[in-house]
Amino acid sequence: MSKYHGGNRVKKGTYWNLANGDRVDIADEDVLPGDSKASYTRFPPSLMLLLGPVFGLVYVIALPFIAIATLIMLIGKKLFRGLLNLVGNIVSFGWRPSEAHLAGKKKKKKENKNP
């Protein structure tokens, strides 16, 4: 593995910016995009072929734990949101500051029942 910075002239290969996940494929000789703060790493193709199945295995092992954590978060949000709504209804006393009734309440019209 070799480290390169943006603006460096590099040879053929695949370069990864691990900070933001960008991948740059260089066909011949070219300059890496970005400024000197952008750091790229070049992995040999043989290492990438070996790491692919390992990353897949880690993902398959972690997937059930990710699903359980997601389920717990969803249930927790539902319970917490319901509890906040209940407390909000108890505390608010029906006060609605965004509504103004300056003209008073509407009165019902009496129907004229003259035959």
6-21 pLDDT, tens digit per residue, is 888 999 888 889 889 8
Q: Rounded to whole angstroms, how far apart are CA atoms 22 and 15?
A: 8
- Does residue 106 carry a pLDDT above 90? no
- Does residue 101 carry a pLDDT above 90? no
21-65 pLDDT, tens digit per residue, is 888 888 889 999 988 889 999 988 888 899 899 999 999 999 999
Q: What does the domain layout of the chain look like in residue ranges?
A: 1-43, 53-90
Q: Within 10 A of 7 (CB to CB), how many other CB atoms are there?
A: 13
pLDDT at 94: 66
Residue pair 4/31 in contact by the 8 Å Cβ criterion? no
